Amino acid sequence: MDRTSLVPHSGAARFLAACQGQQPDATPVWFMRQAGSCVAEYRALLKKYDVLTIAKTPELSSSVALMPIKTFGVDAAVLYADIMLPTEEMGIKLSISPEGPVIHTPVRSLEDVQRLRVPSSEEVTPFIMEGIRLIRRELEGKQAIIGIAGAPFTLACYLIEGGPSRDYRVAKALMYGQPAIWHALMEKITQTISGYLVAQINAGADVIQLFDSWVGALSPSVYRRFVLPYTRRVFEAVRQNGAPAIHFGTGTGALLETLAEAGGDVISVDWRVDLDEAWKRIGFERGIQGNLDPALMATSWPVIEEGMHDVLRRVANRPGHIFNFGHAVPKDADPDLLRRLVDAVHTATQR
């Protein structure tokens, strides 16, 4: 991608520097689900529109993506989209409930997989691409734009389970017991997501985050057998199109070395592992993202500040760190505290 429009010492410049293993002028900060329901403007929007309507209307989705820039001063805007949206173009009937995505046509047989389409990159969610273009025009190189997608494993689990799950029993049983169906499904998802992310990069996304939210349910050997080849192909497609990639998962303490094998430029770690130990395991040649416990947002500023300094102490001023929570911003987080946290990280790491 053409990076000539980046503003020096801007959020975009520091974010991309960290992704490339360079030392920026200050540590970049963003938060997963950073618009969320803790931003008053977003809550007001939800009173008028449902989540899918917002995600499918470029003017609305771009406005939500930009809200945290003004409210918190973060270094990146993140695409507002549910990770299941690309599966609609594959032939999946989808809705969003308060608990999460609902798949009305679960995929559990080879015939189900065969009915799925692999859409071209031009066909997949054109409204998302228009939203990215609107965000890019608004930011003018001042903040980075993060494109997102669900990883093949997590999307496959949703399609098989039919919605959120606590133990992924149905999906894992199919994976173990009917591997031909599993691999056929993973192949179609991988092709679709690779094209989807390439389209986001072409539309103006600077960085990609691949959400493998459920991958912590696997052991390293099972991950290598059933997941790694597909995730690696997605990252290869992103790299070939000039954008760095962040690999996100939760509960991945047993998988860190294996996740690094998949090829992301930055590995996101949650609060269940100490950041310095996690970085040592994935290798200091890769970047790392995280890993403040979001539960700290239910406390007071001195407690939050202490947690922030602990994360930064473990970073030890190495290049390649992106400050974030280990997961999503809590819905009841105080926006003023989030703004204070962003400012404090920038101040503490100013170089």
| Amino acid letter, 40 | A
Q: What confidence score (pLDDT) does residue 5 get?
A: 59
Q: What pLDDT band is residue 270 in, cutting at 50, 70 and 90?
A: very high
Q: What is the share, in percent, of the chain residues with pLDDT greater than 90?
A: 89
**Is residue 113 pLDDT above 90, yes or no?**
yes
pLDDT tens sequence across 137-153 = 999 889 999 999 999 99
Q: What confidence score (pLDDT) does residue 4 get?
A: 46
pLDDT tens sequence across 227-247 = 999 999 999 999 999 999 999
Q: What confidence score (pLDDT) does residue 99 get?
A: 83
Q: What confidence score (pLDDT) does residue 35 get?
A: 80
Closest Cα to residue 84, out of 68, 103, 61, 98? Answer: 103
- What's the pTM? 0.95
CA-to-CA distance for 316 and 41, rounded, in angstroms? 37
pLDDT tens sequence across 18-58 = 999 999 999 999 999 888 778 999 999 999 999 999 999 99
**Is residue 1 pLDDT above 50, yes or no?**
no
Q: What confidence score (pLDDT) does residue 8 get?
A: 73
Closest Cα to residue 267, out of 18, 53, 65, 3? Answer: 18
Contact partners, residue 318, CB within 8 Å, separation at least 6? 279, 284
Mean pLDDT of 10-17: 96
Mean pLDDT of 90-116: 94
**Is residue 3 pLDDT above 80, yes or no?**
no
Q: What confidence score (pLDDT) does residue 144 get?
A: 97
Contact partners, residue 166, CB within 8 Å, separation at least 6? none
Q: Where are the domains of the chain?
A: 11-348
Q: What pLDDT band is residue 6 in, cutting at 50, 70 and 90?
A: low
**Is residue 224 pLDDT above 60, yes or no?**
yes
Indicate the average pLDDT of the chain. 95
pLDDT tens sequence across 147-184 = 999 999 999 999 999 998 889 999 999 999 999 999 99
Mean pLDDT of 259-280: 97
Going by CATH, does the domain composed of 11-348 fall within 3.40.50.1000? no
CA-to-CA distance for 243 and 138, rounded, in angstroms? 20
CA-to-CA distance for 202 and 129, rounded, in angstroms? 9
